[in-house]
Structure 1
Amino acid sequence: MADGIFTAPGRVNLIGEHTDYCDGFVLPFALPQRATLKVNLRSEARWSIASRGETVHFDLSEPVTGWAAYVAAVIWALRDAGHEVPGADLALISDVPVGAGLSSSAAIECAVLTAFVELAGLDIPLAQRAALAQRAENVYVGVPCGIMDQAASTLSQEGHALFLDCRTLQTEQIPFDLAAQGLSILVIDTRAPHALVDGEYAARRTSCEQAAAQIGVPALRDATLDDLSKLDSSLVPRARHVITENQRVLETVELLRAARVREIGPLMTASHVSLRDDFEVTVPELDIAVEAALAAGAYGARMTGGGFGGCVLALIDEPAAAQVETAVSKAFADNGFAPPVCFPATPGPGAHRVA
């Protein structure tokens, strides 16, 4: 039977947090860290997925849970959309940190999706794949994520950030050549527990939907700061974050188009402050990482991902990486936190076949 090896990346979101499910704007880019999948097709409609010494077998007659659910979800979504999906034995390795807000789940989903589209010859244009992978996670896994993670994993191009309009799904590849300006994005994995399935993410999304309904617009993407006066006081901070965050994305894109990369730093920091104070999705580890990075000379820093743990991005001069990492590590030690893990993030390519 046919086989192949496929890979899809994790992602960081440069700016535009909790805007995707509000029909807003996001600006992620693909990480060098990736999920890589070896696929061997088989004749019967059964599947197995092996990873880290564990193998899970399934035929979709019963729900699959745990980490293997992300594989089963894509197969389910493909079949539910009317596609014939051949049985297969799959083997997965991934160096995308799990639980760090870097979309390790989307990397798995998009590697699986890319593999079956190609090996089974499915007619699913590249631009439509993110929505299918998103539906797999929303409906089968039960995580109410927006489309950003899967779009970044499927559509990203090396050396670029992906400007995505989450309403129209129009995309633009924005040049993001950090090295040419002597800059780097340092990812600081705080290693604080990161969980979105516990209801907090869903609660934020519900608040945004309630705010849009009270204002009388389809989504908060259509709202302005003047509309905040129409809201119950409890919803004002949530809506204010989304409205201002969308504007920060648009301003960041304009600066990057003009190759004024250093100038996006204050927008990154303002995004973090909004996520901390208005959206309330940060934790002490994230806030202290941002503060320490800025004190050590970062142009800007912000949490990335859904929040409640995960990672911080710091825009720095490339030679300052060790200095910033040392400062953050010291701040963590002073506060009794586990040591962070830091690495540079260079925009990489999206999902593709490697063999």
Structure 2
Amino acid sequence: MTQEITSSDSQSRLLAEAEALFAREFGDVTPDGAWWAPGRVNIVGEHTDYNGGYVLPIALPTGTVAVARRRDDDLVRLVSEGKRVEVRLGDISREASLGWASYAAGVGWAAARDGLDVPGLDIAFAADVPRGAGLSSSASLSCSTASAWNDLAGWGLERPATARLGRLAENEIAGAPTGTMDQMASVLCEAGSALRLETLTNDTEQVPFDLDSAGLVLLVVNSHAPHELVDGAYGERRRSCEEAADLLGIERGHLCSEVDGRDVSAVDARLEELPDVPRRRARHVITDSARVLAVHEALGAGVTRESAPAVGRVLSASHASMRDDFEITVPAVDTLAAALEDGGAYGARMTGGGFGGCVIALIDADRVDDAVELAKQRAAKGGFAEPEPFVALASEGAKRLK
């Protein structure tokens, strides 16, 4: 049977792990509280968030718990799975090469840059978002940290501002050139809903996404093909989008703003004027932003068996666009997407930044096991790692646990 995880189970287990780790690492000092932030699955709208486009993520039931205590000095002590990092607030920089801890310590750097009073912290983390799977394990780390620091320092930041600190930590200290979707999803998503986010304005709408009542599931299959955003390929895609914007006379970061609603025909002729690579990169982000609106329209008041085929077609079209125009899929995920469709899914696509990670599929609940079995057979035949499936439930965003 395919695994189904709930937020309450994940949070309870991770809280116990993080509290035990805090006690081992920091002695008898009592922590001030515990905070949770989830990973995310993006239903559609890939690489659109740094181009001013639309995205449609849900929060996962898996995430990161941060157990923290405010300090009276400027020292930040962070521990996760036995890995410990200590750094003074004034020493936090990209050049400090803090590794995994840069996603957390970078929040303090971002807050100080914004002129906030930043105290030191002791933090112990426990997490269960699969790493390297394109499910934003890094955003769950940075946003759990931002939520803890916000409360303990008394900054009083609203949720979008908390998410912004997490993004700045990833962009400026960890060196991951992500857009705003991952952190906004981790902080703003609600249980039973997808988050329609217009990244140019940060306007949001909670879209009903209760698949269970319709006999459907959003199946996530981890290809176990490596996924890494802090590398040249992701950055090259972003630079190609900026090049396309420059050639079209559009402000960088606003490439998707040329589309009015779902009608992309108005920019087709202009895209033909571009060289091959920037043309195809721009075509993907513009059409994928429009696909978010198409899914939103198909969902209406919620997901039904009647709307599932239309949503599925959009998912499959998104995968083809990522494969052919944006060139961020790999053979392992292409194989899984095709296998899941052949196994009965309404549609399937890679999710996340690309070059590995997970495939999602919208499918009837009673067809999941057969589709998964076919995907495993195809992966084995292709010489790929055995895929790992689970059912994604639209879950709650960041919060304080205790």
Shorter-chain TM range is over 0.9
Asked whether the 8 Å contact 1:64–1:72 carries over to 2, the reply is: no
Give 1:41 shift: 1.8
Give 1:2 shift: 6.2
- Which stretch shifts more, 192-201 or 289-298? 192-201
Matched, 1:77 2:124: no
Matched, 1:130 2:163: yes
Matched, 1:250 2:293: yes
Pick one of 10, 15, 31 that aligns with 2:44: 15
Task: Specify the alignment match of 2:71 in structure 1.
Answer: 42
- Separation in 2, partners of 1:234, 1:351: 38
Asked whether the 8 Å contact 1:38–1:92 carries over to 2, the reply is: yes
Normalising by structure 2, we get a TM-score of 0.86
Pick one of 228, 237, 253 that aligns with 1:204: 237
Mapping of residues 1-355 of structure 1, within 5 Å: 3-60=32-89, 61=91, 63-218=96-251, 219-223=254-258, 224-259=267-302, 260=304, 261-262=307-308, 263-355=310-402
Alignment deviations for residues 16-57 of structure 1 (CA, whole Å, 9 cap, x no partner) = 001111100000010001101100222221111111112111
Give 1:77 shift: 0.7
Distance 1:227 1:116, change over 3 A: same
Q: Which runs of 4+ in 1 moved over 4 A?
A: none
Structure 2 gap ranges (5+): 1-29, 259-266
- Separation in 1, partners of 2:350, 2:331: 11
- Separation in 2, partners of 1:258, 1:38: 38
Asked whether the 8 Å contact 1:35–1:94 carries over to 2, the reply is: yes
- Separation in 2, partners of 1:210, 1:337: 35
Give 1:257 shift: 2.0
Q: What RMSD in Å do the two structures reach over aligned CA positions? A: 1.2
Give 1:64 shift: 4.4
Sequence identity percentage:
46
Give 1:197 shift: 1.2
Alignment deviations for residues 192-249 of structure 1 (CA, whole Å, 9 cap, x no partner) = 0111211111110111111111111222213322221221223211111112111111
- Separation in 2, partners of 1:23, 1:258: 25
Asked whether the 8 Å contact 1:302–1:314 carries over to 2, the reply is: yes
Which amino acid in 1 is paired with 2:80? S
- Separation in 1, partners of 2:365, 2:327: 31
- Which stretch shifts more, 262-271 or 79-88? 79-88
- Separation in 1, partners of 2:97, 2:284: 36
Asked whether the 8 Å contact 2:150–2:162 carries over to 1, the reply is: no
Q: Helix, strand or coil for the counterpart of 1:230? A: coil
- Which stretch shifts more, 231-240 or 221-230? 221-230
Which amino acid in 2 is paired with 1:299? Y
- Separation in 1, partners of 2:153, 2:117: 8
Q: Helix, strand or coil for the counterpart of 2:43? A: strand
Which amino acid in 1 is paired with 2:360? L
Which amino acid in 2 is paired with 1:303? M
- Separation in 2, partners of 1:99, 1:22: 23
Normalising by structure 1, we get a TM-score of 0.97
- Separation in 2, partners of 1:320, 1:91: 40
- Separation in 2, partners of 1:57, 1:136: 17
Give 1:139 shift: 1.1
Alignment deviations for residues 93-129 of structure 1 (CA, whole Å, 9 cap, x no partner) = 0000011000000000000000111122113111222
Which amino acid in 2 is paired with 1:168? T
Which amino acid in 1 is paired with 2:200? R
